């Protein structure tokens, strides 16, 4: 059984003005998504600025989210690292904290061979035991999960159940599905490719868009699953200008600005990320308004 089906939000980590984690605001965001038809919360991923959280903050965010969302919405914890030992320890801890599943990115900077990737993911999975979604995002890590590697891990390791595909290469996505007989739980890692991925047998999306338009992201998936492919496609196409602006600068710079423009007060960013430029803020605000989102500040 899949950890979730539909639109999971790659949730931001809200900060106070002094840069510390704002747990009261995180609690508000969890309640917001439970009420807005979001299908899963992915905590401490790329959008959650996991790379600038301390390990203590990281695990506190996972623990907090699992406790607050318990029995209402599945929680998937990002626990990747370029160090297998660190990723394994964080994965085991997240499982103990109550995460329903884990999102594990490829090792970055030091990278690995495909054999190394296989060993990395298998080691983590065998220690953590909960369901694991592989995360392939070469643009961020310099490391791709080849379809043959993804298929081998899925076939050989019982709790490696899915893959978040953010390569942007639909041919690669199709090959992953071919090599796993369509059985791997496939999630789009790109908001502009939700419908194409669903058409190949995908289970949904791990979405940046869902931070500001959770019902619409959910409906893109829900309509497709109900057989309303035309309606799903229409929503996907309508969202494209907004999605483009959400990636006008490095994620999560634009989406945090968008949430603050909506009055959600999620705070700023941790360096080396900096605030969205004025020119891109204007474009983002217009795209939000055109999509029907009220810009209040």
Q: Are the CB atoms for 180 and 145 separated by under 8 Å?
A: no
How far apart CA 269 and CA 131 sit, in angstroms, is 30
Q: Over the stretch 158-180, which tens digit does the pLDDT of each residue have?
A: 999 999 999 999 999 999 999 99
Rounded-to-integer distance, Cα 205 and Cα 166, Å: 10
Cα Rg, the chain, nearest whole Å: 18
Task: Using alpha carbons, select from 78, 98, 94, 103 the residue that is nearest to residue 128.
Answer: 94
pLDDT one-digit tens code per residue, 44-57: 999 999 999 999 99
Distance CA 187, CA 34 (A): 20
pLDDT category at 297 given cuts 50, 70, 90 is low
pLDDT at residue 34, as a whole number: 96
Distance of alpha carbon 134 from alpha carbon 145, whole angstroms = 8
| Confidence (pLDDT) at 227 | 98
- Active-site annotation holds for 135: yes
pLDDT at 81: 95
Is 283 catalytic? The answer is: no
For residues 75 and 133, is the Cβ–Cβ distance under 8 A? Answer: no
pLDDT tens-digit readout, 68-100 = 998 899 999 999 999 999 999 999 999 999 999
Residue from 5, 25, 118, 135 carrying the catalytic annotation: 135
CA atoms of 11 and 3, how far apart (whole Å):
17
List 5, 25, 164, 223, catalytic entry = 164
Question: pTM for the full model?
Answer: 0.96
- pLDDT digit string (tens) for 234-282? 999 999 999 999 999 999 999 999 999 999 999 999 999 999 999 999 9
């Amino acid at each position: 059984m899949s950890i979730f089906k539909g639109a999971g939000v790659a949730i931001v980590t809200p900060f106070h003005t002094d840069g510390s984690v704002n747990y009261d605001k995180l609690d508000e965001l969890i309640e917001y998504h439970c009420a807005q038809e979001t299908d899963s919360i992915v905590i401490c991923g790329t959008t959650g600025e996991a790379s600038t959280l301390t390990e203590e903050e990281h695990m506190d965010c996972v623990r907090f989210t699992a406790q607050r969302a318990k029995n209402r919405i599945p929680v998937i914890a990002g626990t990747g690292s370029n160090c297998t030992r660190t990723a394994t320890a964080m994965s085991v801890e997240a499982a103990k904290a109550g995460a329903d599943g884990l999102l594990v990115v490829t090792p970055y900077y030091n990278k690995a061979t495909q054999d190394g990737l296989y060993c990395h993911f298998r080691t983590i999975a065998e220690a953590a035991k909960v369901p694991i979604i592989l995360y392939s995002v070469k643009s961020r890590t310099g490391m791709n999960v080849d379809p043959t590697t993804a298929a081998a891990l899925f076939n050989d390791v019982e709790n490696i159940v899915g893959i978040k595909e953010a390569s942007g290469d639909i041919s690669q996505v199709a090959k992953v599905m071919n090599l796993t007989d369509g059985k791997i739980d496939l999630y789009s890692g790109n908001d502009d490719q939700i419908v194409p991925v669903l058409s190949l047998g995908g289970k949904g999306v791990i979405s940046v868009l869902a931070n500001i338009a959770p019902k619409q992201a959910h409906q893109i998936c829900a309509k497709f699953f109900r057989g309303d492919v035309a309606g799903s496609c229409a929503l996907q196409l309508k969202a494209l200008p907004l999605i483009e602006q959400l990636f006008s600068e490095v994620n999560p710079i634009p989406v945090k600005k968008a949430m603050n423009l909506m009055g959600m007060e999620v705070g700023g960013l941790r360096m080396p990320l900096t605030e969205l430029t004025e020119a891109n803020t204007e474009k983002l605000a217009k795209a939000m308004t055109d999509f029907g989102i009220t810009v209040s500040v």
